[in-house]
């Protein structure tokens, strides 16, 4: 099987030998793939400059199974919006966090066109973020998109019964496979309804810094339960700053 010129992003490169990489990519039509990039680590390799994260590329490969062979990769010159943008500082770390979520939550060979489009817009948003305060909102939106596409969508509007609306000043705890359970008052690992609902309405910008931090902690808890023991390495780089 030969596939040509597919829109893609590199998620991570892993050394395979002294000269080759295993490249994890996200494509719009074929989902997440692992490709064998033979010779890509050589100094004079034409592939090396193209196989960098966060730039839109066109890839071709041959074969099937878990590790087809990469035959070509080039920067997608039609995507002018992202070619001239670059992630730096905290935005760069946030980009790697998004990549790790995809690698850990998406199965290979499972297309998610809507998630590919969301990833594209997320990278654009990170590259254009005018302040650090914008980054948490971008990440919460992407986290929810990944969970929705992988079958772990959370209802942030209703309690676990699916009928009772979550109230701003109520206190709740999230129970895996059930949803949000109302508590009698503030407790350890409890979150206000205002914080919970903000994750669905994307209104983090109206919250206090403490509430934004609580929203981050809530999503971290939910994702940890979803991921099991799979580590998110990049998370530790920016969570101390409240992402």
The domain limits of the chain are 2-82, 85-241
Token digits of residue 134: 């914008």
Question: Structure tokens of 179?
Answer: 């949803």
Cα gap 27→73, rounded to integer Å: 13
Residues of the chain with pLDDT under 70: 79-85, 201-206, 227-243
Q: Do 195 and 226 meet the contact criterion of CB atoms below 8 Å apart? A: no
Query: What's the whole-model pTM score?
Result: 0.84
Bridge partner list, 74: 58
Instruction: Answer for the pair 36, 70: CB distance below 8 angstroms, yes or no.
Output: yes
pLDDT value at residue 128: 87
Instruction: Name the average pLDDT for the chain.
Output: 86
φ/ψ (deg, to 5) at 194 = -60, -45
Separation of alpha carbons 17 and 30, rounded Å: 26
- As its CATH architecture, domain 2-82 has Beta Barrel (2.40)
The answer to whether 2-82 and 85-241 have equal CATH topology is no
pLDDT of residue 204: 56
Question: How far is the CA of 17 from the CAs of 1, 148, 204, 238, in angstroms?
Answer: 25, 36, 45, 31
Long-range Cβ contacts of 154-158 (<8 Å, 24+ apart): 154/179, 154/222, 155/179, 155/180, 156/180, 156/196, 156/197, 156/199, 156/200, 157/197, 157/200
Indicate the fold that domain 85-241 takes in CATH: de novo design (two linked rop proteins) (1.20.1440)
Give the whole-angstrom CA distance, residue 185 versus residue 199: 21
CB–CB of 215/204 below 8 Å?
yes
Q: What is the pLDDT of residue 228?
A: 63
Tokens linked to 42: 């050589």
Q: Residue 110, by phi and psi: left (phi above 0), alpha (psi -120 to 50) or beta?
A: beta
The torsion of the CA quartet 172, 175, 181, 185, rounded to 10 degrees, works out to: -40
């Amino acid at each position: 099987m030969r596939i040509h010129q597919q829109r893609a992003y590199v998620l991570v490169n892993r050394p395979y030998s002294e000269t080759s990489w295993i490249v994890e990519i996200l494509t719009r039509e074929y989902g997440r793939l692992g490709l064998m990039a033979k010779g890509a680590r050589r100094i004079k390799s034409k592939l090396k400059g193209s196989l960098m994260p966060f730039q839109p590329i066109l890839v071709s490969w041959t074969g099937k199974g878990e590790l087809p062979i990469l035959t070509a990769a080039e920067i997608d010159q039609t995507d002018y919006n992202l070619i001239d943008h670059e992630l730096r500082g905290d935005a760069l770390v946030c980009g790697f966090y998004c990549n790790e979520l995809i690698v850990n939550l998406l199965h290979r060979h499972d297309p998610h066109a809507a998630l590919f489009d969301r990833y594209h817009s997320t990278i654009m948003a990170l590259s254009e973020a005018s302040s650090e305060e914008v980054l948490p909102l971008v990440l919460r939106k992407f986290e929810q998109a990944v969970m929705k596409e992988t079958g772990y969508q959370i209802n942030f509007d209703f309690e676990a019964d699916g009928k009772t609306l979550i109230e701003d000043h109520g206190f709740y705890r999230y129970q895996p496979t059930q949803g949000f359970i109302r508590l009698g008052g503030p407790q350890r690992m409890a979150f206000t309804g205002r914080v919970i609902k903000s994750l669905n309405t994307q209104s983090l910008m109206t919250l206090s810094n403490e509430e934004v931090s609580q929203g981050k902690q809530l999503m971290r808890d939910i994702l940890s339960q979803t991921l099991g023991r799979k580590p998110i390495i990049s998370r530790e780089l920016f969570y101390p700053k409240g992402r």
